[in-house]
Chain A
C-alpha cells in the first residue's frame, strides 16, 4: 500500500492542505470519522480529521507548527501509513436547522466534511460558523464551507475580519434572536468547546462535538484518550470521537491535552538539529 501525497498546498495561513492516496479508506469513510497518520516508519500514530474523502484521496489540513508539517515542507512525498476510518461517523439524515461550528485546524476539516454531507440531504438548513485567529489566517475560499451552506459566518479572534471572538458570538446571537436551532455540530479547540457547552446546556440544544484527545493505537487498547462523559469513562477513539458537549468533563480533558508539551518541543528540536547537516544521523 502506498500512501502517496498527491497534493500539498500552502494555504498561506497557519496550515497546509494535503491530499493523500488512500482508496480503501475513502470507500468506507463517513463524515465525523477520523484516520491515523504515520509519516514515517519511526513515526507516531497521529489522529487526523478529514476534510474530504473522494476519488480515492483523503484531504486533510496540517498545522505548520509541528514536526509533521516540517517533514512535509522538507519534501516528504508519501506517508508510511494511513489507518482508518476510525470512530463513529455522524448520522446522515435530516436534522432541520443545523449549525456547524469550528475553530482550529482539525475543526475546520470536520466542519467541511459535515456540511458537505448534510447539504446533500433535502430538509437540512445549514449555518456554518468558522473561526480563525485573524484575517490573515482565513483559508482561501475553496477550502471554506461557504458554497455548501445556506448561511456562512466567519469570525476572527482578534476582530480583524468579521465579528470579533469565537463561533459562540454569532451562535449566541442566533439564539438571542429567537432562531430555533435543532442541532449543533462542532470541533476545534477544547476551551471553546467547554465554553459553548454551557450555552448549549442553557438553551437545551442537542449537539455533538469532536473531542480532540491524544491517542496511541486508536482502537480502544491503550486508554490514553479516556474521557468522562456524565461521570462514566469513555474512549474518544472507539466510543467517539463525537460526544454531547453538555456531558463531557471538559476541565479534565483540557488538562490532559498538555501532557506531552515538553516532549513535543524536544521532538521538534531534534528534528531541526538532525534533518540535514552532517548526515551521520541519517539512516
Chain B
C-alpha cells in the first residue's frame, strides 16, 4: 500500500466556542497550508475530479498552480469556469462530486478541493485581482433574469461575458437568493456573497431588487422588452407535514421562515435589528438535509439547550453534506433516526408543547425500493418548545399562476428542453425552478449552460419581433 500523505487539516472554531457566535466555522487555509495541500495532488493523467464537477472547473491545473504558488493564475483559471467560487467552495457537497471522484478517496484522503477553491477565491478577492471578462459588445440585446439565486447569478455572469445587457429581477431587498436568505453566516459569510455580487454589478449587470415577476412586474412585460428571459426563481415555497395539530401552531416554523428570520433579517441580532425570532430551549428539526442542519445549528447559536434532528430514515441516509452533519454532531446536536412525528400538541396559548412520534423501520416494497414504514404501537412523546420543518421546498405558485403559457409538471416544476428552453420560445429556465430542489452548484452549472444556450439562440434567431404571450395581471 503506497504511503499517502494525509490531508492538511482545516483550522476551525472549536465546537463549544462556535455555538456562541455566528462567525465562520472554518478559518480557511493559509497560503502555506494551501500550497501543501495542493501539492498532494498526484496530477492524474485523466483526472476523475473534473467531470464530477457540475461546472467542470480545471481542478488539476488549479492544484498545480496553487502548489507552484501561482495564485493569481489559479484564481483566473477558476473564475473562467465559475463566477462564484467563494460560495461553491464552501457549500458544494464535494464528497459526492470532485472529492468523491478523487483517486485518493480510496485511501480516505481525497484532495480538499472545496477548501482550495474557497482559498483561491478568497485570495483573488482580497488581492483585488482584475478579471478580464467581457468578450464582446452586444449591449443592444437585452436579457431579463428572474431571481438572483445561484442559477440567476451564474447566468447573468455568463450572459454579461457575451456582452449582453443583463437585468436581474429579485423579490427580496437583497440579492443572492438562498445564498443570503437560506445558508447561514457561519457556513457562508454574507460579506463574501456581497463581494461576489458586487463584482457582477461592476461587470455591468443591473439588479432590480423588490421586483417580484408576476406580482409587481409582469412576465409579459419582460418578454416584450427583452430578447430572452431566463427564469431562475427557484423552488421557494415551503412544505409542511400536514399532520394533526400542526397548523398554524405558534413556534412551529418552516425552515424557510426560521432561516429567513435568522439570516436575511438578522434576527440573531434582535433587538438591535428589528425582526424577532422565538427559539426555545428544546428544539426539534424535522428532516436531515443541509437545510435541516443549517436550521439546527442556527437554533443552537440562538441559545437552545437541546436541538434534536428528527429523521424518518437512518443517519447514513441523511442527504446533508457530510461536513455539515459532522459539524452538527460536534456541536452537540442530537440525531434521532427512524422516527417520524404524527401529531403536534400545543399548550393553552397555542404554542407547541410536545410531539407525538412513531418509530419507523426500513421495509423493502414490491418494487424493490426500500422505504421507511411506521412500526405499529411504537408511539412515543417528546417535549419541545420549537419545531422547524425542513422538508424541502416546491416552486412558488405566485409566478406560475400568472404565466400560463409556460408548461410545467404537476409539481409546478418548469419543463425545459435540452437547451434549457421552456415551452415559450425565447424563455429559458434553470436551477430549482426547472429541476425541483437541488444544490447551489447544480444551479450555478445550469445557469451557465443556459446562458450559452441563450447566446446561441440570440445569435441565430431574429429576436426583433418579440414573442407575444398571454397578458395576465393581478
Residues of chain A within 8 A of B238, CB atoms compared? 221-223
Other than the given A219-B398, A256-B350, 20 more pairs (CB < 8 A) read A45-B265, A85-B215, A86-B216, A88-B474, A219-B396, A220-B237, A220-B396, A220-B397, A222-B238, A222-B254, A223-B237, A223-B257, A224-B253, A224-B257, A238-B398, A252-B247, A260-B276, A263-B276, A266-B270, A267-B270
Cα of A25 to Cα of B212 in the assembled complex, Å: 12
Q: For residue A249, which residue of chain B has the nearest CB?
A: B248
Mark each residue of chain B from 268 to 305: 1 if its CB lies under 8 Å from any CB of chain A, else 0: 01111111111000000000000000000000000000
Interface residues of A in 81-140 (CB under 8 A from B): 81, 83-86, 88-89
Residues of chain B within 8 A of A30, CB atoms compared? 474
A residues engaging B (CB < 8 A)? 24-25, 28, 30, 33, 38-40, 42-45, 67, 81, 83-86, 88-89, 216-217, 219-224, 226-228, 233, 238, 252-253, 255-256, 258-260, 263-264, 266-267, 269-271
Residue pair B271, A267 in contact (C-beta under 8 Å): yes
The distance from the CB of B341 to the nearest CB of chain A, in whole angstroms, is 17
The distance from the CB of A24 to the nearest CB of chain B, in whole angstroms, is 8
Residues of chain B within 8 A of A25, CB atoms compared? 216
Residue pair A42, B173 in contact (C-beta under 8 Å): no
The distance from the CB of B317 to the nearest CB of chain A, in whole angstroms, is 26
Mark each residue of chain B from 221 to 256: 1 if its CB lies under 8 Å from any CB of chain A, else 0: 000000000000000111010100001111101101
Known: A219-B396, A221-B237. A267 touches B216 (CB 8 A): no
Residue pair A44, B210 in contact (C-beta under 8 Å): no
Cα of A112 to Cα of B266 in the assembled complex, Å: 35
Whether B172 sits at the interface, judged by CB under 8 Å, is yes
Q: For residue A215, which residue of chain B has the nearest CB?
A: B257
Residue pair B248, A221 in contact (C-beta under 8 Å): no
Residues of chain B within 8 A of A266, CB atoms compared? 270-271, 276
Cα of A251 to Cα of B293 in the assembled complex, Å: 33
Cα of A238 to Cα of B238 in the assembled complex, Å: 13
Q: Which 7 residue pairs spanning A and B have beta carbons closest together?
A: A263-B276, A255-B350, A222-B257, A270-B271, A44-B274, A42-B273, A223-B254
Whether B109 sits at the interface, judged by CB under 8 Å, is no
The distance from the CB of B313 to the nearest CB of chain A, in whole angstroms, is 24
Cα of A224 to Cα of B240 in the assembled complex, Å: 12
Residue pair B257, A216 in contact (C-beta under 8 Å): yes
Residues of chain A within 8 A of B435, CB atoms compared? none
Residues of chain A within 8 A of B237, CB atoms compared? 220-221, 223
Among candidates A28, A223, A269, residue contacting B216 with C-beta atoms closer than 8 Å: A28
The distance from the CB of A227 to the nearest CB of chain B, in whole angstroms, is 7
Residue pair A267, B248 in contact (C-beta under 8 Å): no
**Per DSSP, are chain A's interface residues mostly helix, strand or loop, or mixed?**
mixed
Whether B260 sits at the interface, judged by CB under 8 Å, is yes
Whether B171 sits at the interface, judged by CB under 8 Å, is yes
Residue pair B248, A252 in contact (C-beta under 8 Å): yes
Residue pair A255, B216 in contact (C-beta under 8 Å): no
Among candidates A39, A44, A217, A223, residue contacting B172 with C-beta atoms closer than 8 Å: A217
Residue pair B247, A263 in contact (C-beta under 8 Å): no
Residue pair B216, A216 in contact (C-beta under 8 Å): no
Q: For residue B257, which residue of chain A has the nearest CB?
A: A222
Cα of A83 to Cα of B416 in the assembled complex, Å: 31
**Per DSSP, are chain B's interface residues mostly helix, strand or loop, or mixed?**
loop
Q: For residue A39, which residue of chain B has the nearest CB?
A: B274
Cα of A88 to Cα of B215 in the assembled complex, Å: 9
Known: A84-B216, A223-B254, A270-B271. A44 touches B265 (CB 8 A): yes
The distance from the CB of B183 to the nearest CB of chain A, in whole angstroms, is 15
Whether B261 sits at the interface, judged by CB under 8 Å, is yes
Residue pair B272, A220 in contact (C-beta under 8 Å): no
Residue pair B398, A267 in contact (C-beta under 8 Å): no
Most chain A beta-carbon neighbours within 10 Å: one of B171, B264, B276? B276
Residue pair A216, B215 in contact (C-beta under 8 Å): no
Cα of A219 to Cα of B272 in the assembled complex, Å: 25
Cα of A33 to Cα of B278 in the assembled complex, Å: 29
Residues of chain B within 8 A of A264, CB atoms compared? 276
Residues of chain A within 8 A of B248, CB atoms compared? 226-228, 252-253, 256
Residue pair A222, B260 in contact (C-beta under 8 Å): yes
Among candidates B240, B349, B398, residue contacting A220 with C-beta atoms closer than 8 Å: B398
Residues of chain A within 8 A of B216, CB atoms compared? 24-25, 28, 84-86
Q: For residue A25, which residue of chain B has the nearest CB?
A: B216
Q: 8 pairs across A/B with beta carbons < 8 Å?
A: A28-B216, A85-B216, A217-B181, A221-B256, A258-B250, A258-B350, A266-B270, A267-B276
Cα of A216 to Cα of B173 in the assembled complex, Å: 12
Known: A43-B274, A270-B272. A221 touches B261 (CB 8 A): no
Known: A238-B397, A259-B278. A219 touches B212 (CB 8 A): yes
Q: For residue B173, which residue of chain A has the nearest CB?
A: A81
Residues of chain B within 8 A of A224, CB atoms compared? 253, 257
Residue pair B236, A220 in contact (C-beta under 8 Å): yes
Cα of A156 to Cα of B24 in the assembled complex, Å: 56
Among candidates B254, B269, B278, residue contacting A260 with C-beta atoms closer than 8 Å: B278
Residue pair A44, B275 in contact (C-beta under 8 Å): yes
Residues of chain B within 8 A of A85, CB atoms compared? 215-216, 474
Q: For residue B348, which residue of chain A has the nearest CB?
A: A255
Residues of chain B within 8 A of A44, CB atoms compared? 265, 274-276
Cα of A43 to Cα of B242 in the assembled complex, Å: 32
Residues of chain B within 8 A of A40, CB atoms compared? 274
Cα of A269 to Cα of B269 in the assembled complex, Å: 15
Known: A221-B237, A260-B278, A267-B274. A233 touches B250 (CB 8 A): no
Residues of chain A within 8 A of B256, CB atoms compared? 221-223
The distance from the CB of B208 to the nearest CB of chain A, in whole angstroms, is 10
Among candidates A83, A216, A220, A238, residue contacting B261 with C-beta atoms closer than 8 Å: A216
Residues of chain A within 8 A of B474, CB atoms compared? 30, 33, 85, 88-89
Q: For residue A85, which residue of chain B has the nearest CB?
A: B216
Residue pair A259, B260 in contact (C-beta under 8 Å): no
Residue pair B251, A221 in contact (C-beta under 8 Å): no
Residue pair A216, B276 in contact (C-beta under 8 Å): no
Residues of chain A within 8 A of B215, CB atoms compared? 85-86, 219, 238
Cα of A271 to Cα of B271 in the assembled complex, Å: 8
Residues of chain A within 8 A of B266, CB atoms compared? 42
Cα of A280 to Cα of B342 in the assembled complex, Å: 50
Most chain B beta-carbon neighbours within 10 Å: one of A44, A67, A228, A233? A44
Q: For residue B401, which residue of chain A has the nearest CB?
A: A238
Residues of chain A within 8 A of B236, CB atoms compared? 219-221
Among candidates A81, A216, A269, residue contacting B275 with C-beta atoms closer than 8 Å: A216
Mark each residue of chain B from 168 to 185: 1 if its CB lies under 8 Å from any CB of chain A, else 0: 000111000000010000
Known: A44-B265, A221-B260. A233 touches B240 (CB 8 A): yes
Interface residues of B in 282-338 (CB under 8 A from A): none
